[in-house]
Structure 1
Amino acid sequence: MLSRRYLIAAAMAVGLAGPAFAQDAAPATKLPVVASFSILGDFVKEVGGDRIAVSTLVGPNGDAHVFQPAPADAKKVAAAKVVFVNGLGFEGWMNRLIKASGTKATIVVATKGVAPRKMEEEEGGHDHGKDAHAHEETDPHAWQSVANAKLYVANVRDGLIAADPAGKATYEANATAYLAKLDALDAEVKAAIATIPAERRRIITSHDAFGYFGAAYGMEFIAPQGVSTEAEASAKDVAKIIRQIKTEKIPAVFMENISDPRLVKRIADETGAKIGGEVYSDALSDDKGPASTYIDMIENNIRAFSSALSS
């Protein structure tokens, strides 16, 4: 007769072995990958799980528009097997960093398949005077639409599978589970927007980062800065927005975690518009903040919008 100790050990062995048939065995060393900024880094972590080690170049509350890579960043890129970038002109410094690092990593553009928004920018800033020349510029903030975020996740999944075929089942399972969460998030946003009267779905943010959100969910965003925080808003542009707020009775202005709040506060002071709180545009918060993941970020923003615009 088999001993009780032997039966217990056998049962434990079967129990421990069970999950191995459902997913890929963990690799001895994790796949080193780099993501250009915090929001993209969150997508990569969700899909990669325990099989990867993620380094993010522009961290929480960081502004990728004005980021200046350090030698340590070149080392991270050099050591990576995969580098995930947003594309659409978002990381103007990325090509130089990749070249300087000498990396052999595969570069995955997370916005592959996104239909890019075009918008009119003013050369030499945002002054609409006679010397200003308008040109069309691609809006890189595609992640602000949850439908686009799903394209990011699919591209991340495919990039990881190409670099680590042994992890295919894990990456597919993680992506499928996360995509279901994004479907639920998309429905949550649409339900929240539906509670805001149509005539109140207009707000001011400090830079033009919410165009994809507005197009997807039927809101209008007005910003004194363009798609990048690099260009300062001109006095003429700010005055124009102040007049527009007063004329059209735009109810709220919002501060962004990556932007100097003084401009938005000035606009609020001069118009009487309500400051609707802080929203997250180009970067997540740190772990202690309200937007440490992409889903938390979108939920934080929609709560802020709904609170300011519904009343």
Structure 2
Amino acid sequence: MFTTLRLATYASLLTLGGLASSASAANLKVVASFSIIADFAKNVGGDRVEISTLVPVDGDAHVYEPRPADAAALERADVVLVNGLQFEGFMSRLVETSGTKAPVVEVSKGIEPLKTAEEEHAHHEGEEHAKAEEHVNASDDHGHEGHHHHGEFDPHAWQSIHNARIYVKNIADAFCQADKAGCATYTANSEAYRAKLGELETEVKAAIDTIPQDKRTIITSHDAFGYFEHDYGLKFIAPEGVSTEAEASAADVARLVDQVKEDKASAIFVESITNPRLVDQIASETGLKVGGTLYSDALSSQEGPASTYIDMFRYNVNTIKAAILGS
């Protein structure tokens, strides 16, 4: 009888083990291109998703080189989440190499993209020429729509909390499409998280309201805060453009130093993904004190101050405020 009981117990354990394995296998396999999108996905998916992140925390997506393990992760994926707006330059090649059949979802879909500073400059210079072309192409409603050359739009749209809420909605929709049984959970999680983001935005605006208008110009390493500037009223200037791939030239730095003196910048910050050498040089030439580190394109590790999107935004605002106001 003892043997019979042992066999029955063993069979039960095997059954339970099989159920646990099936439950684990049933989880939606999600690949996120970088840590900020992965955090959004965790908040939407909860326990129903298994998330892999390509560019790690504190990593720079602008210069990331995919590994063989990344292609394997995409091959196994049910959903692939990317920012879009040409942020992940490595992604199209990786998708092709992996042979993945998973949908590749651009989570920035539906936001109002901002042109890069370089594009705005080119736009103003060529405005008259564009007006002439407009007349020629007036009959072609779709002639240029959707045709984006590299660098036309600023891809850092998550630096607007309003846009982050759109990202989260897009992720919930993608999960619902891939896992209809879990749609009610994804929708509820999305709505709860979007409510938290709304509270965060109220907090951010209140904090920035305490900064005097004449002290709202600051310097960062690269031009990653255009949406933050647009939504919250700080002015960011940077020696590098929207990508960290190209280093600023001596002429770029000289122009920036002149601009800092003219605009009377209040603080300068290092970014977590960039080399601080350039910022240190500008600080030395302008007499500004480095006010700390800001997180632009990646979250910190769990031990760091910006391990979630909400923590990142709150930390950045508090760091900026403390550097300018000295509190």
Q: TM-score of the superposition, structure 2-length normalised?
A: 0.82
AA of the residue aligned to 2:28: L
Q: Distance in 2 between matches of 1:94 and 1:240?
A: 34
82 and 289 in structure 1: CA distance in 2 versus 1, 3 angstrom threshold: same
CA contact (8 A) 1:120 1:136 kept: no
Aligned pairs for 1:16-31 (under 5 A) are 29-31=26-28
AA of the residue aligned to 1:265: D
Q: Which of 112, 116, 137 is the equivalent residue of 1:115?
A: 112
Q: Distance in 1 between matches of 2:307 and 2:63?
A: 21
Q: Which of 64, 88, 93 is the equivalent residue of 1:91?
A: 88
Q: What SS is found at the alignment partner of 1:232?
A: coil
Per-residue deviation, residues 166-193 of structure 1 (Å, max 9, x unmatched): 0011101111110110000000100000
Which residue is 1:253 aligned to?
A: 268
Unaligned runs of 5+ in 1: 1-25, 123-134
CA contact (8 A) 2:217 2:263 kept: no
Per-residue deviation, residues 120-161 of structure 1 (Å, max 9, x unmatched): 438xxxxxxxxxxxx962100000000000000000000000
Aligned pairs for 1:106-185 (under 5 A) are 106-121=103-118, 137-185=152-200
State percent identity of aligned pairs. Answer: 59
Report deviation, 1:243.
1.6
Structure 1 residue 243 and structure 2 residue 258: aligned?
yes
Q: Distance in 1 between matches of 2:256 and 2:43?
A: 39
AA of the residue aligned to 1:80: A
Q: TM-score of the superposition, structure 1-length normalised?
A: 0.86
Per-residue deviation, residues 192-227 of structure 1 (Å, max 9, x unmatched): 000000111110000000000000001110000000
Which residue is 1:62 aligned to?
A: 59
AA of the residue aligned to 2:325: S
CA contact (8 A) 2:33 2:81 kept: yes
AA of the residue aligned to 2:178: A
Report deviation, 1:28.
5.6
Which residue is 1:300 aligned to?
A: 315
AA of the residue aligned to 1:267: I
Q: Distance in 2 between matches of 1:93 and 1:252?
A: 33
Q: Distance in 2 between matches of 1:202 and 1:306?
A: 12
Structure 1 residue 72 and structure 2 residue 69: aligned?
yes
Q: Distance in 2 between matches of 1:74 and 1:181?
A: 34
Q: What SS is found at the alignment partner of 1:228?
A: coil
Q: Distance in 2 between matches of 1:284 and 1:140?
A: 16
Which residue is 1:50 aligned to?
A: 47
Q: CA RMSD in A?
A: 1.3
Q: Distance in 2 between matches of 1:53 and 1:289?
A: 23
Q: Which of 254, 257, 262 is the equivalent residue of 2:277?
A: 262
Report deviation, 1:247.
2.9
The size of the alignment, in residue pairs, is 274
Report deviation, 1:249.
2.0
AA of the residue aligned to 1:288: E
56 and 146 in structure 1: CA distance in 2 versus 1, 3 angstrom threshold: same
Q: What SS is found at the alignment partner of 2:61?
A: coil
Q: Distance in 2 between matches of 1:119 and 1:177?
A: 32
Q: Which has the higher helix share?
A: 2
Q: Distance in 2 between matches of 1:274 and 1:146?
A: 28
CA contact (8 A) 1:79 1:103 kept: yes
Unaligned runs of 5+ in 2: 1-22, 120-149
AA of the residue aligned to 2:31: V
Structure 1 residue 191 and structure 2 residue 206: aligned?
yes
Aligned pairs for 1:196-215 (under 5 A) are 196-215=211-230
Q: Which of 105, 109, 115 is the equivalent residue of 2:102?
A: 105
